[in-house]
Chain A
Amino acid sequence: MEDFATELMSELENKISFIIPIFGGIPVPTAVVATWGIMAFLMILTLIFVRNLKMVPKGPQIYVEALVGFINNFFGEILGEEGKRYIPYLGTVLIYIACANLAGLVGVTPPTKDLNITAGLAFMSIILIEYSGIHEKGGKGWLKSFVQPMAILAPINILELFIRPLSLCMRLFGNVLGAFVIMEMIKIVIPAVIPVPFSFYFDIFDGLIQAYVFVFLTSLFMKEKMEEYK
């Protein structure tokens, strides 16, 4: 158990890839490098697929349009007409988290295994959630929403400001970490063949579900902030 604990600990550490030699050296963690890789990958895909767009879609354009249509429909249904302006951000986060969770398949450590990345995503989510409330109702209406449905619930409403990003962050991190630890254990017990179906479940299915759940919850919270209390 002692060996396993130390091995786990070394896997959990946020390794530093390299150090930028300015201002006395800025350490760059592996997760950030992996994120840059995903950004470059998505950017290249975007540049390839938006070439020669036609009115009547043909070939790969059909798939791209299907994906964009799915994202627009999915968020449009939840957020409604007034929330249309947030769809591009949510769609980007969905695609990014899905890519990040699937990065384990090509041998890259998933960036979402780093608590700092998930914390950053959750922080951006809570800012967007509150911003959508302020934008929709104005500052006064937003402040008033803390004492609804009744004034006695104000402490709970304020606590929610911290609980929501914390639970978003821990859910994503815990799932990716859990899948990782279980896969490591299975590999220690049986190194061949058996890990493959488990990898399908934990890496592909669970990763995609978690990406979906993250943006789904963010958009639900936004919807809740945007609508007037009746």
Chain B
Amino acid sequence: MTGLIAIGAAMAVMTGVGAGIGIGIATSKATEAIARQPEAKGDINKALLLGCALAEATAIYGFVVAVLIVLFLK
């Protein structure tokens, strides 16, 4: 049973894959944008940070679910 719980928690943490890919793409595009237009750096940084915060939220939800699985299923 413990093994199954561990597998369940691991699957919940897989949400991190999506967040990682999303933040990676966002950052690469932001770098391109800054290289093309360095004077718009401030605005690009703000948009990037907002996007990263929203993308990261999915990973956080997955993590919270995984912790809850580990703690409350015994």
The residues in B between 19 and 74 inclusive whose CB is less than 8 angstroms from any CB of A are 46, 49-50, 53, 56-57, 60-61, 63-64, 67, 70-71, 74
Known: A171-B57, A216-B50, A217-B53. A178 touches B71 (CB 8 A): no
Instruction: Specify which of B2, B46, B50, B60 is in contact with A171 (CB 8 Å cutoff).
Output: B60
- Is B6 in contact with chain A by the CB < 8 A criterion? yes
A67 to B52, CA, bound (A): 25
Residue of A8, A171, A173, A177 touching B53 (CB-CB under 8 A): A171
| Number of residues from B at the complex interface, CB < 8 A | 16
B interface footprint on A158-199 (CB within 8 Å = 1, 0 otherwise):
000000000100110111011001000000000000000000
Q: Is the interface of A mostly helix, strand, loop or mixed?
A: helix
User: CB-nearest residue of chain B relative to A171?
Assistant: B57
A178: chain B residues at CB < 8 Å are 60, 63
Q: Does B60 contact A216, Cβ atoms closer than 8 Å?
A: no
Q: How many residues of A contact B (CB 8 A)?
A: 20
Determine if B71 and A174 form an interchain contact, defined as CB atoms under 8 angstroms apart.
Answer: no
For the complex, what is the distance from the CA of A170 to the CA of B61, rounded to whole Å?
8
Residues of A contacting B6 with CB < 8 Å?
A: 1
A12 to B, closest residue via Cβ: B71
Residues B2 and A213 in contact, CB atoms below 8 Å apart: no
Q: Chain A's nearest CB lies how many Å from the CB of B14?
A: 15
* Interchain CB contact (< 8 A) of A181 among B50, B53, B60, B67: B67
Question: Are B50's CB and A174's CB within 8 A?
Answer: no
Which residues of the partner chain A approach B71 to less than 8 Å between Cβ atoms? 5, 8-9, 12
Docked CA distance A8–B6 (Å) = 15
Q: Are A170 and B57 in contact (CB under 8 A)?
A: yes
Q: Which residues of chain A have a CB within 8 Å of any CB of chain B?
A: 1-2, 5, 8-9, 12, 167, 170-171, 173-175, 177-178, 181, 212-213, 216-217, 220
